[in-house]
Structure 1
Amino acid sequence: MTDTLTDTSTAQPLDLDAVHALHAAFGSDPARVRAQNAVTRTGLDEVALNHARVVELSTSISHRIDDWTVANQKKSGRCWLFAALNLLRVGVKENLGVKEFELSQNYAMYYDKLERANYFLLDAVATAGEPVDSRLVSFLLTTVLGDGGQWDMAVSVLTKYGVVPKQAMPETESSGNTDRMNSQLRALLRAGALRLRALVADGASDDEITQVRAALMRDVHAVLTIHLGTPPTSFDWQWTDDAKVFHRDGVLTPQEFFARYVSIDLTQYVCLVDDPRREHPKGAALTVAHLGNVVEGQPVLYVNAPVQTMKELAARSIVAGEPVWFGCDVSPQMQRSDGLWAADLFDYSGVYGVDLHTTKEQRVVSADSAMTHAMLLVGVDLPEGVDGPTRRWRVENSWGDDKADKGFYTMDDSWFDEYVFEVVVRKDALPAELRPALTAEPLVLPAWDPMGALA
């Protein structure tokens, strides 16, 4: 068969004369020459930054609930777990009578990794009948055991294993810098997947396959525990509150600590998504094949909702005193040092003289945008009162306190429209038109769908 890339009847190579003409046209365009002079000596974002927009974007917020310091995920992709634990710690701090407190992110990640390894090995067996280079198997092998996750995956881990104070399982070098640990675990699991596939192909019994899978899990456990430490099954809990009163609660398991000090029921929340693709109607229930971590845990479920509804429900939650877990495509139109997001913060089209504008739907279908980061909404500006339109948002990030307002960022409402994909709200807050999706059979999207992107 003729390769279309080398078929002389269809190939259209670049003509040297045409390339030289492009150079000449560029050199005769004063605006592009000025842009070249600027960008070759200065970073693109500094040239493209819309100064007037920066000045206009106030960081003042009418309804703000944060009075604590931010956490730091360091060189890891644990933002979704940080955001979930930051949500839980609001109630825990109130129950303990302290302003500053962190739950162990290392503990939660340890069990997510352990459960996710088991989930992957079971998938390897279940898909053993497919070619190893099929799109599904290739996707599963490529994405195995990353740091990212979704809201329902956090719920599955936290409700099964509970939580512990940070001092009960502190950070390690590898929890804050996961690359080397992950590369070893991926190599182990990929080789294990090939071994399991070979057993299935050779007609091995279920018992033989189970024994090999159990041996692989012992190896995963060893690697994880060497890197992250041994998670506590119980710990002695005592503390002094901000009024200088000492408390002793004795020896607790992580599940007992969760039941005693976490003040919200995670199972009563739902993840709303703004899937802008027209083939997925608003009000529909969505899920993603092969997406999860805990076998028989809470399945990943989305309700596709209008972005305006997502804003209204998030604002009401903040006004009521509760932060909102949300997922977004974090990098576009972000000024990191000042901690600002706005849809028109950078004028890249103006710098290049090229129209780069696209819609949210176009970015999703062309793989140009998907959820990449999760954080908490902790403030909202409502210039016309609690039922008025939203103007901007205050965001608790997990990148440390050396940027923005000590780690808290400001999001213009226009950025929410374009780059926010998910918010988590209470199920009982849903408007009537979205409630049927809670019990409807969800549309199952393929494993590689953009809505399966992990924060």
Structure 2
Amino acid sequence: MGTASSKPTAVATTSSNDEKSHGTLNEVTSSLASLHLKSPSSADGSLTLGNIDSWESYVASQPKLELARTILNHSNIRSALASRSATVADVHVFNTEVDFKTGPITNQKSSGRCWLFATTNVLRYNIMKKLNLDDFQLSQSYLFFWDKLNKSNYYLELAIQHADLPLDDRLVYYLSDELISDGGQWDMVVNLLETYGVVPQPIHPESLHSSLSSPINTLLKTKLREHALILRSLSSSLRSSPRPVSEETILRTLRSKKEELMKEIYVVMTATLGVPPKPDEKFVWDYYDKDGKAATWSGTPLQFYKTFGYDKYSPSDSFSLINDPRNAYNKLYTVDKLGNIYVNTQVENLKDAVVKLVKAGQPVFFGCDVGQFSDRDAGIMDTALYEYENAFDIKLGLSKADRLRTNESSMTHAMVISGVYLDPATGKPLRYKVENSWGETAGEKGYFVMTDAWFEQFVYQVVVPKALAPKDLVKVFESGEKTVLPPWDPMGSLA
């Protein structure tokens, strides 16, 4: 198990457990007695001026807190409390890196497409090596289009599937909130690659709304929610018809209506994102290699993916290792309605996988909570980055499991690890080189440094080819014996 059980401990009722229960009760009573709590100032739990007076008295007795008040009321707490020692220690130097550097640094701009950028940044490694390129991007907007269209269709399929549930049912309400997020998971991108392939960026370039997705998302969500209500109403009418209608006929009728509604979504998307090539449609790509030699390639998106997208390790033959200390390790999990599949394991296994992949010359797709203890400008992710505890005389005591349980943290961003700094004495990783998708102005020309301590606390996912994964974890993955988590579980968050 992880640091804490995912289920509450049952209260003992049999006589054989009485002694243990009595001992536990004594421990709790002793612990409460050691707290030395005063009687509350408020009998009904409301905030009183007596509370304020007491707290002000405490601050007045602490010169450090008075100094914090003087400085921090007109300063950004992150810049004011940034640790100089951490900034100095977190150098962008790595003694083990993949053997080929890709470029340019990509920029997802004002969109949530990091998972697509991380994936294409991994794929282009092989493409650039095979085609002798020094500057290349795959079309993230190509995958973005097909993902958004499929999510729209899936949302309406779920509306049909759950048309009998009330609108305020937790599942229905959740699905209507998270219907077409820009984000995604590894299994989702594998499905896109295998179904639609990939194309070079010039074949389907960025549009305004692929780089600035909020306006189009707002419009699509409005229409899709309206469409869901139309389908629910039609379902109710068919089922309440005076003449019995078979379930097969009902489903066929609802799907016919859904396709009619999806035409509106397609019209909006193609007008704002452009019309992408179909996966079996031939395109011609003219390009220069790094020696300035002109070349041409012709084929379909699926052919391009199968020919150049990977070498020894296919994305479809890779899987996710997750570190989720709320749940049992060495078990297979999935999130309902999402379809992601992953093996939950100790964080050390994620670290070992990263080192093994980098040594094998393979960049690593990983998911994390990027907003925690990170500096975008400096490109640093370090749990010691900010001196919050010293400045405010507090302790930040949440564990990784606690953060997941209380909505404090989840997987918010996907990036690529392309290097590590290994301790010369132990061989253990001390820091990691991270390729981000926020442009060259973020971090060290687009690259971030992540400390090992930050990895332990805020990295949740590492994607590893089966051939390079621990055999026991591959066995767990291939067993197919999945524990299903609810759709709103934090492991279902989309990076």
TM over 0.5: yes
Helix, strand or coil at the partner of 1:271: strand
Give the deviation of 1:383 after TM superposition.
Answer: 2.7
C-alpha deviation, 1:24, in angstroms: 4.2
Once the two structures are TM-superposed, the CA of residue 144 in structure 1 deviates from its matched residue by 1.1
**Equivalence for 1:451:** 491
Q: Report what 2:97 is aligned to.
A: 64
The answer for the alignment partner of 1:15 in structure 2 is 48
- The answer on 1:26 being equivalent to 2:74 is no
- 1:11 deviation in Å? 4.3
The alpha carbon displacement at 1:54 in A equals 1.3
Q: Quick check: which has more Rg, 1 or 2?
A: 2
Deviation of 1:98 after TM superposition, in Å, equals 0.4
Name the SS for the 1:203 alignment partner: helix
How far did 1:95 drift? Answer: 1.6
Q: Which amino acid aligns with 1:70?
A: I
Tell me which amino acid in the other structure corresponds to 1:62: N
Aligned to 2:433: 394
1:144 aligned onto 2:179:
yes
Deviation at 1:244, TM superposition (A): 2.5
Q: Does 1:310 align with 2:350?
A: yes
Q: How does 1:83-102 map to 2 (within 5 A)?
A: 83-102=118-137
Match of 1:5 in 2: none
CA contact (8 A) 1:112 1:157 kept: yes
What is the one-letter code of the residue matched to 2:468? A
Measure how far apart 1:249 and its partner are: 2.6
TM-score normalised by structure 1 residue count: 0.92
> Does residue 189 of structure 1 match 2:224?
yes
Which amino acid in structure 2 is aligned with residue 242 of structure 1? K
Q: What residue in structure 1 maps to residue 35 of structure 2?
A: none
Are the counterparts in 1 of residues 126 and 310 from structure 2 also a CA contact under 8 Å? yes
The separation in 2 between residues aligned to 1:274 and 1:34, in whole angstroms, is 40
Q: Which residue of 2 aligns with 1:253?
A: 300
Q: Tell me which amino acid in the other structure corresponds to 1:269.
A: S
- Residue 220 of structure 1 and its aligned partner are, at CA, apart by 0.9
Contact 1:82 1:105 in 2 (8 A): yes
Contact 1:342-1:412 at 8 Å conserved across structures: yes
Match for residue 157 of structure 1 among 192, 195, 205: 192
Q: Does structure 1 retain, via aligned residues, the 8 Å contact 2:102–2:128? A: no
The SS at the match of 1:423 is strand
Q: Which amino acid aligns with 1:376?
A: V
Aligned residues: 436
1:352 corresponds, among 387, 392, 401, to 392
- Asked if 1:39 is matched to 2:78, the reply is no
Find the counterpart in structure 2 of residue 207 from structure 1.
252
1:40 deviation in Å? 1.1
Q: How many Å apart are 1:247 and its aligned residue?
A: 1.9
Task: Answer yes or no: is the 8 Å Cα contact 1:60–1:381 preserved in 2.
Answer: yes
- Match in the other structure for 2:34: none
Do the aligned partners of 2:415 and 2:434 also contact (CA within 8 Å) in 1? yes
Number of the residue aligned with 1:48: 81
Q: Is the 8 A contact 2:333 2:344 kept in 1?
A: yes
In the TM superposition, residue 341 of structure 1 has moved relative to its aligned partner by 1.1
SS of 1:132 mapped into structure 2? coil
Please tell me whether residue 412 in structure 1 is matched to residue 451 in structure 2: yes
The 3-state SS of whatever aligns with 2:433 is strand
What residue is the counterpart of 1:295 in the other structure?
none
> Equivalent of 1:321, from 358, 361, 365?
361
The 8 Å contact of residues 62 and 383 in structure 1, kept in 2 or not, is answered as: no
SS of equivalent to 2:401: helix
Q: 2: CA distance between counterparts of 1:432 and 1:175?
A: 40
Which digits, 9 at most, give the CA deviation of each residue in 1:283-316, with x for residues without a partner? 100100011xxxxxxx411011111111111111
1:122-141 maps to which residues of 2 (within 5 A)?
122-141=157-176
Give unmatched runs, 5+ long, in structure 2: 1-41, 240-249
Q: Does 1:378 align with 2:418?
A: yes
* Residue aligning to 1:403: 442
Letter in 1 for 2:83: N
Tell me whether 1:243 sits opposite 2:272 in the alignment.
no
Query: Residue 426 of structure 1: CA displacement?
Result: 0.6
Return the TM-score normalized by structure 2. 0.85
Instruction: Name the counterpart of 1:173.
Output: 208
Q: Percent identity of the aligned residues?
A: 34
Indicate the larger mover: 87-96 or 190-199: 190-199
What secondary structure does 2:209 align onto?
coil
SS where residue 433 of structure 1 aligns?
Answer: helix
Q: Offset of 1:187 from its aligned partner?
A: 0.5
Counterpart-to-counterpart distance in 1, 2:307 and 2:468 = 25
Q: CA deviation at 1:67?
A: 4.5
